[in-house]
Amino acid sequence: MLYLRRRELPHRTLMVVDAVGLAVVTVIGARAALDAQVTPLAVLILAVLTGVTGEVVRDVLCGEFPPLLLREEVYATAALAGAAVYLGLHRAGAPDTVDIAVSAALVFALRMAAIFRDLHLPRLRRLSA
């Protein structure tokens, strides 16, 4: 609180911490889904939902609209890629530490690339009738 009274919030630093959170929570979601012995598609869906839920809650509490998730940000896509890698490594029989480290690193790297290289997904357009 004292810091924020005298300084501006370090936006990029918060984005880095947010990317770490996305990576960790996505892997936790994938691991929990695998422990529940659901289908591979359900593993991917649950991992992405687990990863992006924190972002949606943060945006709602901060009053940001549209939420980051609904913009062209590489967010859910990074979570999906990490979940897919986690699932693939797990099914290939890789050790848990490898599954976790590689998939979390991928999510983090994709999100960091999006932040620092200003990468965005293409904007969806409605088809006119």
- 3-state helix, strand and coil shares in percent for the chain, rounded to the nearest 5: 70, 0, 25
Percent of the chain with pLDDT over 70: 84
- Whether this prediction's pTM lies above 0.95 is answered by no
Confidence of residue 18 (pLDDT cuts 50, 70, 90): confident
Q: What pLDDT is stored for residue 76 in this prediction?
A: 87
First to last CA, the chain: 52
Which residue is associated with the tokens 């890698």?
A: 85
Confidence of residue 4 (pLDDT cuts 50, 70, 90): low
Return d(Cα 86, Cα 6) in angstroms, integer: 42
Q: What confidence score (pLDDT) does residue 128 get? A: 63
Three-state SS for 73? strand
Mean pLDDT of the chain: 85
Among residues 55, 95, 48, the alpha carbon closest in space to that of 76 is found at 48
Residue 48 is predicted with a pLDDT of 94
